[in-house]
Amino acid sequence: MTFNLTTERRIGRALIPLGLITFAIGVAFAIVAAAHADSTPVGPLTAGPVSRTTTPPGQLIAVALPHARKGTGLVWRLARPYNPKVVRQLSEADLGANVVLVFRVVGRGETALVFALTRGDTSPVAVKAITHKIHST
């Protein structure tokens, strides 16, 4: 009987890390789902500047968006979905007077990065819009 009890204890101890990993993955998925659920869609966009970039896959594209004046509560956010088969976001950082987003071109095709300046993350009203069209050859 001692052999069976020792074996069961070893198995139990081995399953603890597996359970913790499973729990952590579940929490991560819940956080991601909540983040996507919180995003209020941006309504109609104002006419704004449009830039175009043509590049092959494997290149990086950086988009610099000017910070809004302090105290206004205005923030830049993606207003429309983009094609993840063409570009993927790598990073976002505050750099001086700008918010800089870096994307990697991962495939061929076309997509548009459409940004809106809104009052906070929950406002559907766009004060300003900027569009970056990407054509990957």
Whether 115 maps to a domain, the answer reads yes
Count how many domains the chain has. 2
Cut 0.75: pTM above it: no
Q: What's residue 91's pLDDT?
A: 94
β-partners of residue 57 are none
Q: Are residues 28 and 65 in the same domain?
A: no
Mean pLDDT of 81-93: 95
Would you say 61 and 103 are in contact if contact means Cβ atoms under 8 Å apart? Answer: yes
> Domain range for residue 102?
50-136
Q: Are residues 82 and 58 in the same domain?
A: yes
Q: Are residues 55 and 27 in the same domain?
A: no
d(CA 3, CA 112) in angstroms, rounded, equals 64
Whether 12 maps to a domain, the answer reads yes
Of 108 and 33, the structure prediction assigns the larger pLDDT to: 108
Taking only the tens place, the pLDDT of each residue in 4-57 is 667 677 766 776 676 667 676 776 666 655 555 556 788 888 889 999 999 999
Would you say 106 and 62 are in contact if contact means Cβ atoms under 8 Å apart? Answer: no
What is the residue-averaged pLDDT of the chain? 84
